[in-house]
Amino acid sequence: MVSHITSPAPEEYAAFYADYIERAKAKGDVIAALSLQIEEIRSALGKLTDEQARFKFGPAEWSIKEVVSHLIDAERVFSYRLLRISRNDKTPLPGFEQEDYVRESGADELALEDLLNEFEYLRRSNTLAIKNISEESVSRMGTASGAEVSARALIHMLVGHVEHHMASLHEKYLPNIK
């Protein structure tokens, strides 16, 4: 089982994921970061009311609840890709249209606490699976969204994707909550 996951090389992921990879690298130990992000999200959002969590910083933007729902969806998609690729499944995996997923989620009608719990349980499950992955499996390559990607890169993407959206929440959303 793997105790440390090294950073992926640029050929292990598509260039459009570079920001996520860099954000994950900045966190240091990605295995530790997986668990820490649960508390970071709860600390930032857990005291908001459901009304506050419907805040959007612009009319075409997602609400805070929709951002959390998107984090859940992406966590599921990236972890499914990770499962398939780490198990040496060479079947190309499709992308997903995030705007459609957010629109269909009904997130603004859900309790923020339920969304936070769903993210936490999903992330804890993924963290256990990642801790139990073999060194050989981490290095495996597959195809997702039309690009080659390694299991190692997908683990970094799980962390980096959350970091990307947390930065947006701290910069554009939370300062404007009343």
Please report the pLDDT score of residue 178 as a whole number. 78
d(CA 145, CA 148): 8
Task: Please name each of the domains of the chain with its CATH number.
Answer: 10-176 (1.20.120.450)
C-beta of residue 53 within 8 angstroms of C-beta of residue 151: no
C-beta of residue 146 within 8 angstroms of C-beta of residue 10: no
pLDDT digits (tens, 9 = 90+) for 42-87: 999 999 999 999 999 999 999 999 999 999 999 999 999 999 999 9
Global pTM?
0.96
d(CA 49, CA 124): 24
Please report the pLDDT score of residue 96 as a whole number. 95
Confidence of residue 1 (pLDDT cuts 50, 70, 90): confident
* Side-chain half-sphere CA neighbours of 170 within 13 A: 11
φ, ψ of residue 75 in degrees (nearest 5): -60, -45
Residue type, 99: E
